[in-house]
């Protein structure tokens, strides 16, 4: 032992070091093969199963969400169709109501116009009758002041006024 240095590199101990190295590796291999590696393999297999189950659940959730989305879109479409139908019905009812009100208004307007025209014709005839008498009285008064009282002139004036009013 006079040489100092690392004992691992000393060739006289190589045989015992290799022996204990092989024994250590055999023990390590047996322990790993019997205890550690099966546990690690079991953990890995369990993780694979969990991952596969999670992927399957995710696919199921995806399918469920797609079917829910389709149902939702179908519900929206049906609601839009119902709303469109309701609006169309309301619009048609409103148009019918407006048309009825318009017809009633036109009928009432025609009746009112006819009533006013009848009253106007009556008042016109009354005015024309009175205007004939007024025109006769005024012209008779003017002529009698200018020419004096002449019964022939009065009859002629009356006939002339009648012919003028009628035309």
Q: Which residues of 34-66 are buried (b: 16+ CB within 10 A; e: fewer)?
A: eeeeeeeeeeeeeeeeeeeeeeeeeeeeeeeee
Q: What confidence score (pLDDT) does residue 1 get?
A: 44
| Rounded-to-integer distance, Cα 65 and Cα 14, Å | 69
The answer to whether residues 136 and 159 touch, using CB atoms and an 8 Å cutoff, is no
Task: Tell me the C-alpha distance between 100 and 155, whole Å.
Answer: 59
Q: Pick the closest to residue 165 from 140, 133, 128, 122 (CA basis).
A: 128
* 49-108 per-position pLDDT tens digit: 999 999 999 999 999 999 999 999 999 999 999 999 999 999 999 999 999 999 999 999
Q: DSSP 3-state assignment of 138?
A: helix
Per the CB < 8 A criterion, the answer to whether 139 and 161 are in contact is: yes
Beta-carbon neighbour count of residue 161 at 10 Å? 19
Task: Please say if the pLDDT value at position 155 is more than 70.
Answer: no
Q: What is the pLDDT at residue 152?
A: 54
Q: pTM for the full model?
A: 0.41
CA distances (Å), origin 94, targets 70, 81, 106, 145: 35, 19, 18, 73
pLDDT tens digits, 7-36: 777 778 888 889 999 999 999 999 999 999
pLDDT tens per residue, range 94-138: 999 999 999 999 999 999 999 999 998 888 888 777 777 777 777
């Amino acid at each position: 032992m006079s040489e100092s240095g690392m004992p691992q590199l000393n060739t006289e101990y190589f045989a015992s070091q290799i022996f204990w190295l092989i024994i250590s590796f055999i023990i390590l291999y047996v322990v790993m093969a019997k205890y550690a590696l099966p546990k690690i393999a079991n953990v890995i297999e369990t993780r694979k199963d969990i991952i596969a189950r999670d992927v399957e659940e995710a696919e199921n959730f995806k399918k469920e969400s797609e079917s829910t989305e389709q149902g939702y879109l179908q519900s929206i479409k049906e609601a839009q169709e119902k709303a469109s139908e309701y609006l169309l019905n309301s619009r048609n009812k409103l148009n019918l109501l407006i048309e009825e009100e318009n017809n009633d208004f036109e009928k009432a307007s025609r009746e009112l116009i006819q009533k006013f025209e009848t009253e106007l014709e009556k008042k016109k005839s009354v005015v024309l009758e009175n205007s004939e008498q007024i025109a006769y009285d005024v012209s008779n008064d003017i002529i009698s002041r200018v020419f004096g009282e002449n019964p022939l002139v009065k009859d002629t004036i009356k006939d002339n006024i009648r012919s003028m009013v009628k035309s």
